[in-house]
Amino acid sequence: MELDVQDIVAWIEKSNENIQANKEYLTTLDQEIGDGDHGINMARGFQEAAAKIAEQTYTSSADVLKDTAMTLMSKVGGASGPLFGTAFLKLSTAANGMDPISYETFTNGLEEAVNGLKQRGKATEGEKTLVDVWSQMMNYFKHETDFHAETIAEKAKKAMEDTKDMMATKGRAAYFKERSVGSIDPGSASSFYIFQALADIVERRA
């Protein structure tokens, strides 16, 4: 299966829907082990990204992903703005001139995204950050050969839930030390909604 420009546009739209629907929940998660702005930040950023994309007609997936990246970068703020911005920028670079996007291209993009996130955030797996979701998804994508809606959503959910038992060593949650154990990482939850949106697009496509 391949994803065309319309699918990528739909992905961003659906991601926005998921984030908006779970804005309060994300904020609650961030109140537990952060400063309580994550839902607000992500909702503001994705709203703007979706609006920006709705304004235009795209012929290249890379452009959609780049506009998303730049909008997140300039509208989200906080730790998550530059991080999600980086992830989508890397996806965009990988997609450049590759329309429609093959499974392999998408997987390459994911790998670049994970590298970018780790570099920006100076974080690695197991530190209870969104890296945990993106990295597990990359591993999963690498071991498969095609998009499977149901397992994408399942895997992302599991990766998010796995952060619950971790102790944070990066970001604000790290100030809480042991007390950070038992809460889901907010950035991982947003990441889950993004992959859940992807799963939806894949399903619709199938």
Partner 1 sequence: MKKIINDPNQVVQDMVSGMAAAHPDELKQLFGTTVMVKKNAPIANKVGIVSGGGSGHEPAHAGYIGKGMIDAAVAGEVFTSPTPDQIFEAIKAVDSGAGVLLVIKNYTGDVLNFDMAAELADAEGIAVDKVVVNDDVAVDERVSRRGIAGTVFVHKMAGAKAEQGGSLEEVKAAAEKTVQNVRSMGMALSPCTVPAAGKPSFQLDENEMEIGIGIHGESGIERKVMTTAVDIAKELTDKVLNDFDFSGNVAVMVNGLGSTPEMELYIVNQKVQSILAEKGITIYKTFVGDYMTSLEMAGCSVTLLKLDDELKQLLDEPSQALAFRS
Ligand X SMILES: Nc1ncnc2c1ncn2[C@@H]1O[C@H](COP(=O)(O)OP(=O)(O)O)[C@@H](O)[C@H]1O
Q: Is 187 in the site for ligand X (CB under 6 A)?
A: yes
Q: Is 171 in the site for ligand X (CB under 6 A)?
A: yes
The answer to whether 146 and 103 are in contact (CB under 8 A) is yes
Beta carbons within 8 Å of 21's beta carbon, 6+ residues apart: none
Q: Tell me how far the alpha carbon of residue 65 is from its chain's centroid.
A: 12
**For residues 14 and 170, which CB has a smaller minimum distance to ligand X in the complex?**
170
Which of helix, strand or coil describes residue 57?
coil
Q: Is 41 in the site for ligand X (CB under 6 A)?
A: yes
Closest approach, Cβ 46 to partner 1, in A, equals: 14
**For residues 82 and 100, which CB has a smaller minimum distance to partner 1 in the complex?**
82
Among 8-16, 57-65, 78-86, 188-196, which window interacts with partner 1 (CB under 8 A)?
78-86
Closest approach, Cβ 140 to ligand X, in A, equals: 19
Name the phi and psi angles at 119, rounded to 5: -70, -50
Q: Is 21 in the site for partner 1 (CB under 8 A)?
A: no
Number of Cβ atoms within 10 Å of the Cβ of 93? 17
Q: Is 31 in the site for partner 1 (CB under 8 A)?
A: yes
Residue with tokens 């961003």: 12
Q: What ranges make up the beta strands (E) of 52-204?
A: none
Name the site residues for ligand X (rule: CB under 6 A).
30, 34-35, 37-38, 41, 78-80, 83, 121-123, 129-131, 170-172, 185-188
